[in-house]
Each structure stands twice: as structure tokens, then as C-alpha cells.
Amino acid sequence: MGNEFHIVVCGSIVPDPLQTLAPQVGPNGPVLQNEMMLPAVLDPWAGHALYEAANLAANTPGSRVWLVCLGPKAKLQQVMMAVSQKAPFQLVVADGTASGFADSYETARVLSETIDGIEGLDKSKMLLFGGWQSASRGSGAVMQMVGEMQGVTEQFQGVDKLTVNGDGSMDVLERIEGGAYLKSVVDGAPAVFGWATGELPEPPNNPQVGMQNMQKNMPALMQAKPADLSGTSLSFSSVEVPQQRRQTRVEKDMSVDDMAQEIVEWIKG
């Protein structure tokens, strides 16, 4: 067996963060106003995971990268026209909602089932990449559940750096409190990595890579199977934008302890 990796990146699309987002209750639960009309981008955390995966594959001969997306294929097609120019990968699509209101467990289940259907994937060589968080749901739990469903117990969250050693082991730097890192060593694949921002910049556009990707990815979009997310018991009583509150008072010669105590009492109230 060689030291190549089969890297599966889980990610989806989110509304462009420069847009104003307003939630409302739709016929099937909470939605964003004009959600299908909002311009979309690849989730930033998933983007970091994809670029790290592409860099690892480029430096490890024989490795392959798949991008597994759960989202509406019409919107995915628009986003993939841009993302496909960044790095080489094979797209795998589950046609369904990318809403932040979707249940995390159901999302993980669909992603896991989609991974099971990837042709040519050797799970003994699998590195499961994804965002530590998400711009749409921010639960920080989806990648952990996908890993558990795949039977992968070696999991690392908040990863900023992954270094492959000559013997096939990997050094992992995970974010912890206080701006410090936890350094771990994993013997090899399979393993799950929830990426933070990583260390790589966004790659420049490469039209040639984009053309090669879209030749493979357009059929994947057209053949995407509908994703069933109906198994959830999650419900929302209401959705609204948080109200802004600002209460300012100027105090002179107030001790730090008094300020801290007042803040604690304000929070409790």
C-alpha cells in the first residue's frame, strides 16, 4: 500500500456574507427571505478545508480529492463555476437544502450516505476534511457525526496545520484556548479533520483547472440525487433577527471589581 490519500471534503454553499439576511417562517419551516435569489459562495470554513486538501494531494503523489456538497444543485452550479478554478477535485452532490435551519444529525446522515456511494473511494486511505464551524449553521457538530457514522474515531477539530511525516504519520495542530495549539500525532488514515482557517491563502483562479473540473463536475450536478432530510423532529416556534441593544453609562473612578460585578448582575438580569 502506498502513502497516497483519498481526501473527502464535506462542504456546502452559504449566502454571500455581504448580503442582509432576514429569516421568516415558510410552509416547511424557517427560511431566509428570497433565499434562492441571494448570491451564494462556498462556505468559508469548507473553502479552507478544500484548499488544504488540494495542497496535500498535490504534495502526495497518487492522492485524490472529492468535494461532497449538500445543497440545491441549481445554486451549486453557479458557485462551482468559480470554485472549480481554484483546485482540482471531483464533485459529489446531494441535491437538498443548504439552509442553516436543517438538523445537524440529518445533514450528517445524508453526507455519510453520499460518501458511501463514492466510486473508487478506499476508506482505509480516507482523510475526512470539513469546516470546524459553518457560516450557515455554526453547530460545530456535523463533521464529528459524519466521522462517527463512517466509523472513524481519530478526530481533530479546529485544525490549522497538518504535516505528513516520512513514515506516513501526521502531525496535527489544533486550536485551544489562550491562542495556543495542541500538537497531536496520528499514525495515518483514516482520520477526521475539522479545519479552522489553516495556513494557506485562497488559490488564484486557473481557467485550465476550471475547465478540467467542470468536465467532470457538470455530469455530477446533473445526476445529483435528491437528499431526504425529512427524518428530523427539530421544530422552530419562531425565527427573527436579534435586536440590537446599547446601554451606555459613563462612570469615573469605578474599580475593576465593581465593574465586573455590575456586568455579572446585568447578564443575570
Q: Quote the DSSP letter at residue 37.
A: G
Q: In this predicted model, what pLDDT tens digit does every residue of 87-118 receive, in sequence order? A: 999 999 999 887 778 888 888 999 999 999 99
Annotation: CATH topology of 6-226? Rossmann fold (3.40.50)
Q: Where are the domains of the chain?
A: 6-226
Pairing of strands 170-175, 225-226: unpaired
What was the pLDDT predicted at 72? 87
Position 98 scores a pLDDT of 79
Q: Return the pLDDT at 138.
A: 64
Cell of residue 144, nine digits: 464529528
Over its length of 269 residues, how does the chain's per-residue pLDDT go in tens digits?
Answer: 468 999 999 998 888 877 777 777 777 777 777 777 788 889 999 999 999 999 999 999 999 999 999 988 888 888 888 899 999 999 999 998 877 788 888 889 999 999 999 999 999 999 999 998 887 766 678 899 999 999 999 999 999 999 999 888 999 999 988 889 999 999 988 999 999 988 888 899 999 999 998 888 888 888 888 888 777 777 777 777 777 777 788 888 889 999 899 889 988 87
Instruction: Check residue 103 and give its pLDDT.
Output: 83
Contacts 24+ apart (CB under 8 A), 221-227: 221/73, 221/76, 221/77, 221/80, 221/91, 221/93, 222/73, 224/73, 224/93, 224/94, 224/95, 225/94, 225/95, 226/95, 226/96, 227/70, 227/94, 227/95, 227/96, 227/97, 227/110, 227/114
Q: How many residues does the chain have?
A: 269
Count CB neighbours of 9 within 10 A.
Answer: 28
Question: Which pLDDT does position 139 carry in this prediction?
Answer: 66
Q: Rounded to two decimals, what is the model's pTM?
A: 0.83
Is residue 160 a contact partner of residue 197, using CB atoms and an 8 Å limit? yes
**Amino acid in position 88:** P
Classified as helix, coil or strand, 127 is strand
H or E element at residue 218: helix 207-222
How far apart CA 192 and CA 109 sit, in angstroms, is 16
The pairing of beta strand 170-175 with beta strand 181-186: antiparallel
